[in-house]
């Protein structure tokens, strides 16, 4: 492994993390990477080793372990959790120690999400709002409130980057859709499913009719999992090719993942059409969830109402890196039928 870039990978068994790892392992640059993944399941760790990935069995809640593994890496992929501040603090502590001891300038690629843009845009589905965030508008990005979801973790990353001991890049996907297909899924290592649209589908199947929050008028961006994978690879390759200073980083290092947006009602209506087609509902038109249903299907009214927030994003910064997403909102709507069928198979 001499001469290879040491990489610490968190989230290798997840929907996003597994999909990106699967691509990195088949990328022409795969031979340059010495990847260590932190994995909770011993069984999955053993399977992952067969793909040439070193594994450490453990949880990212073990912050001493995370700190040690981060210190040992020149590149950290944080693909598991957009909200775990202690985990991120441990990563940053490890990177800071590495910088102090070796003079290395480590690279952090972290996964946040466009949920951050919902702050102040919560309309419970009764309206679309007109605030549209552009990831290349650094002033607009700087004004996102610290109270916004995910923002506490992102702010800790910005501070670390500004301190100068690492270079950090943050990917913020919108609603990711599509069932992941790759060698890690085939080997039973990776979760192939997203959660946003599948949650709406499970609720619809449970109540026998598609549902939405309020009138479903609020809007979110969407992006296909394969395009998300490409975004991480384009970003990582750009950092390698141009050097860490050649790519906007830290507070200027937000990269949205979106290739179109829709209302929540559009998504739910597509679910309804599939249910009618499969003989599971009489009417395709979604109706509003009651508070009781929000609790039953999403865990709480607050979580359920997330499906009635607005998150409006334009990924101009990501596109300027050379990212060319291929799938559109029409593809997102067409992806709902296979998702419904997969959930029905799981529920059998
Ligand atoms: N999917 C989307 O549409 C979307 C969009 C934007 C942002 N995001 C954000 O991206 C992040 C990842 O999402 P995802 O869809 O890839 O979720 P996921 O499929 O549930 O993957 C989560 C990953 O984190 C790992 N993990 C969880 N707790 C852990 C722990 N204590 N120690 C070690 N590993 C742990 C899981 O491992 P196990 O296999 O052991 O569970 C899995 O590898 C989340 O924060 C999510 O909010 C997701």
pLDDT digits (tens, 9 = 90+) for 172-218: 999 999 999 999 999 999 999 999 999 999 999 999 999 999 999 99
CA of 262 to the centre of ligand 1 (A): 24
What residue's CA is closest to ligand 1, atom 45? 81
Residue of the nearest CA to atom 33 in ligand 1? 59
DSSP 213: S
Structural domains counted in the chain: 2
113 lines ligand 1 (CB under 6 A): yes
- Classify residue 348: in a domain, yes or no: no
Helix then strand count (H, E) for the chain reads: 15, 14
Structural domain includes residue 27: yes
Query: Given the CA of residue 41, which atom of ligand 1 is nearest to it?
Result: 40
Question: Are residues 248 and 323 both part of a single domain?
Answer: no
Residue 306 pLDDT grade (very low, low, confident, very high; cuts 50, 70, 90):
very high
Same domain, residue pair 24 and 169: yes
- CB-based contacts of 269: which residues, under 8 Å, 6+ apart? 210, 284, 285, 286
Tell me, yes or no, whether 111 and 214 share the same domain: no
Q: Taking the model in full, what pTM does it have?
A: 0.98
Answer yes or no: is the C-beta of 17 below 6 A from any ligand 1 atom: yes
In this structure, the answer to whether residues 100 and 174 fall within a common structural domain is yes
In a domain, 35, yes or no: yes
Q: Kindly report, residue by residue over 214-239, the tens digit of the pLDDT.
A: 999 999 999 999 999 999 999 999 99
Q: Measured in angstroms, how far is the CA atom of residue 264 from the centroid of ligand 1?
A: 23
Q: Which two tokens stand for residue 124?
A: 């419970």
Residues 49 and 155 in one domain: yes
The answer to whether 312 and 217 are in contact (CB under 8 A) is no
What pLDDT sits at residue 12? 98
Pocket residue to mutate for ligand 1, from 8, 12, 15, most atoms within 8 A of Cβ: 15
φ and ψ of 184, to 5 deg: -80, -30
CATH number of the domain enclosing 127: 3.40.50.720
CA-nearest of 139, 306, 169 to 250 is 169
CATH number at residue 214: 3.90.25
Does residue 243 come out as left (phi exceeding 0), alpha (psi in the -120 to 50 range) or beta? left
Cβ pair 18, 184 in contact under 8 A: yes
Say whether pLDDT at 334 is over 60: yes
Ligand 1 mean position to 10 CA, how many Å?
9
Q: pLDDT value at position 23?
A: 98
Summary mean pLDDT of the chain: 98
Q: Count the neighbouring beta carbons within 10 Å of the beta carbon of residue 69.
A: 24
d(CA 17, ligand 1 centre) in Å: 7
For residues 118 and 148, is the Cβ–Cβ distance under 8 A? Answer: yes
Q: How many angstroms separate the alpha carbon of residue 81 from the centre of ligand 1? A: 5
Domain carrying residue 84: 5-188+222-257
For residue 12, report the distance from its CA to the centre of ligand 1, in Å: 9
DSSP string, 325-345: ----HHHHHHTHHHHHHHHHH
Is 71 found in the same domain as 208? no
The residues, ordered by sequence, that sit 6+ positions from 42 with a Cβ below 8 Å of its Cβ are: 57
Per-residue confidence band for 1, with pLDDT thresholds at 50, 70 and 90: low
What is Dmax (Cα atoms) for the chain? Answer: 66
- Single out the residue in 209, 242, 257 at which a domain terminates: 257
Percent of the chain whose predicted confidence (pLDDT) is above 90:
98
pLDDT interval class at 2 (50, 70, 90): low
What are the tens digits of pLDDT across the range 113-165?
999 999 999 999 999 999 999 999 999 999 999 999 999 999 999 999 999 99
Domain co-membership, 214 together with 226? no
CA of 194 to the centre of ligand 1 (A): 9
Q: Is the CB of 111 under 6 A from ligand 1?
A: yes
Could you tell me if the CB of 118 is within 6 A of ligand 1?
Answer: no
pLDDT at residue 46 is higher than 80: yes
pLDDT band at 29 (very low <50, low <70, confident <90, very high): confident
Beta bridge partners of 151: none
41 in contact with ligand 1, CB cutoff 6 A: yes
Please state, in angstroms and rounded to a whole number, the distance separating the CA atoms of residues 115 and 312. Answer: 9
In a domain, 14, yes or no: yes
Spacing, Cα 318 to ligand 1 middle (Å): 22
Can you list the positions of beta strands (E) in 218-266?
A: 219-224, 254-257, 261-263
- Does the C-beta of 82 come closer than 6 Å to ligand 1? yes
Ligand 1 pocket, residue 257 CB under 6 Å? no
Confidence check: pLDDT of 264 > 70: yes
């Amino acid at each position: 492994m001499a001469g290879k870039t040491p990489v610490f990978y968190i989230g290798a068994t997840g929907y996003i993390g597994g999909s990106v790892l699967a691509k990195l392992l088949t990328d022409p640059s795969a031979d340059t990477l010495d990847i260590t993944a932190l994995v909770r399941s011993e069984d999955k760790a053993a399977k992952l080793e067969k793909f040439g990935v070193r594994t450490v069995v453990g949880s990212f809640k073990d912050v001493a372990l995370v700190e040690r593994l981060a210190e040992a890496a020149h590149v950290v992929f944080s693909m598991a959790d957009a909200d775990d501040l202690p985990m991120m603090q441990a990563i940053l502590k490890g990177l800071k120690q590495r910088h102090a001891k070796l003079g290395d300038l480590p690279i952090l690629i972290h996964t946040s999400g466009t949920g951050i843009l919902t702050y102040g845009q919560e309309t419970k589905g009764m309206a679309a709002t007109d605030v549209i965030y552009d990831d290349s508008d650094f002033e607009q990005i700087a004004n996102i409130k610290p109270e916004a979801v995910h923002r506490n973790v992102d702010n800790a990353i910005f501070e670390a980057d500004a301190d100068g001991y690492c270079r950090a890049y943050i990917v913020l996907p919108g609603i990711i859709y599509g069932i992941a297909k790759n060698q890690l899924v085939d080997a039973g290592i990776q979760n192939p499913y997203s959660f946003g649209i599948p949650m709406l589908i499970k609720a619809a199947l449970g109540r026998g009719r598609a549902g939405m929050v309020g009138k479903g008028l609020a809007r979110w961006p969407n992006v296909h999992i394969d395009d998300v994978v490409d975004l991480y690879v384009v970003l990582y390759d750009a950092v390698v090719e141009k050097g860490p200073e050649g790519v906007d980083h830290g507070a200027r290092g937000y990269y949205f993942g979106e290739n179109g947006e829709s209302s929540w009602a559009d998504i739910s209506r597509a679910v309804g059409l599939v249910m009618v087609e499969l003989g599971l509902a009489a009417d395709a038109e979604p109706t509003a969830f009651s508070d009781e249903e929000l609790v039953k299907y999403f865990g709480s009214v607050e979580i359920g109402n997330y499906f009635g927030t607005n998150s409006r994003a334009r990924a101009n910064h990501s596109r300027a890196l050379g990212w060319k997403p291929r799938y559109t909102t029409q593809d997102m709507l067409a992806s709902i039928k296979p998702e419904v069928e997969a959930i029905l198979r799981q529920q059998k």
